[in-house]
Chains A and B, each alone.
Chain A
């Protein structure tokens, strides 16, 4: 379904969107509710998409989206350490929350630790900023992986599947899947560093 939000996401350029999201996060740090609302309009479709895909339960994903946006509101002051990678910051807050919720549902394990995004770390990570150029390099490197490696990595990252679940879906042994993923990640790293 093409939503009004996703349409809005598509019509603005990568840089304009990144800059706008960054500016809005900065205003959220000053507790500007209008900024939070605009940020929500701009990113909620993508974050909800992440949550629905991993959690597979719309009601749970709605709850998680609320938590994620409130976290962003409360932690916006910490964003300076991530400058230049706004969407990566936001998407991973959502992904890590979804993975924790899946873990709680499956294993009844306590959520013993705050997600990494809760860490107040002042170290500057701007040097690892992903520019549009490196995004293109990343796309190119992903294309160099074998079809099996790509498929398994996407199933883990985007769907939140474990090695065992992926093995069941692709009907291959777990060690084979582990090996595909491990080698795929190593190839990706080498390609990105070359």
Chain B
């Protein structure tokens, strides 16, 4: 969709002000990724409104926050260097854990009455269940649930769920980010609903934190799970 310059500028103003919310906000972010004029409009509004930052008083954060930041920053910096080492350790540990996990961890078998199980994402290599993907039958939502076992996934990345078309001809459509723990519900747009209905499989890719910056998978596809029929 092409936006007139004035409409784009108004969207940019509301994006920066914070009054553009929900899917409209997400859509504006997507527009900015492909339209330099939109991004420029956002930057100009950021500058125009920056004087309002003076309205916000400084507040001293608790003393231990800096230490936590340093730990996280170092973890991120060393990831690349330590990846091969940690991966070896990880696989060795995972192999041992898998035996325990299978016997100790029971995936909750109860099913909420308004949920239809679509897929269970399993790490076949480690023989562990990671997530359950369920459709909320009385609303256009997905419920994404992480296994009760802590997921051994790199927290420096996000894990994004995609609907893969049956023919493979249509591009994957994002269905949201997988939770690291617990569960969350993701609203489905009409486009996402169509993609899901035409899909035979879902896939999970590793993406930069916050999700794919392009709207298509950019990282490796780690897991693929068939969608339950009926």
Contacts and interface: CB of A to CB of B under 8 A. Distances in A.
Interface of A: 1, 3-6, 9, 31, 33, 36-37, 40, 44-46, 48-50, 52-54, 58, 61-62, 65-66, 69-70, 73-74, 82, 85, 87-88, 91-92, 95, 99, 103-104, 107-116, 118-121, 123, 125, 128-130, 134-135, 138-139, 142, 153-154, 156-158, 160-163, 181-182, 185, 188-189, 192
Given A40-B69, A115-B29, A123-B36, A130 B17 contact: no
Interface stretch (B96-104, B116-124, B203-211): B203-211
Interface string B41-53: 0111011111111
A19 to B, nearest CB: 17
Nearest to A92: B46
Contacts of A128: 40, 43-44, 47
B7 interface: no
B59 interface: yes
Contacts of A48: 58-61, 65
B58 A49 contact: yes
Contact of B73 (A9, A33, A130, A157): A33
B15 to A, nearest CB: 8
| Most chain B CB atoms below 10 A, which of A4, A70, A118 | A70
Contacts of B17: 153, 156-157, 181, 185
A40 B13 contact: no
Interface residues of B, number: 62
B100 to A, nearest CB: 31
A45 B57 CA distance: 8
Nearest to A5: B60
B25 interface: yes
Given A49-B59, A65-B61, A118 B213 contact: yes
B51 A139 contact: yes
- The A contact surface, by secondary structure, is helix
A134 B46 CA distance: 13
B94 interface: no
B76 interface: yes
Interface stretch (B83-91, B106-114, B180-188, B193-201): B180-188
Given A70-B76, A115-B29, A110 B56 contact: no
Contact of B25 (A88, A103, A134, A156): A103
B66 interface: yes
B224 interface: no
Given A91-B50, A111-B177, 19 more contacts: A37-B70, A48-B60, A48-B61, A62-B61, A62-B62, A62-B65, A65-B69, A70-B72, A88-B47, A88-B53, A99-B25, A111-B211, A114-B210, A118-B208, A118-B210, A119-B39, A123-B39, A123-B40, A138-B50
Contact of A135 (B51, B62, B76): B51
A162 B25 CA distance: 12
Contacts of A31: 77
Given A113-B210, A119-B33, A160-B18, A135 B50 contact: yes
B210 A66 contact: no
B210 A111 contact: yes
A112 B174 contact: yes
B53 to A, nearest CB: 5
A109 B22 contact: yes
A162 B56 contact: no
B10 interface: yes
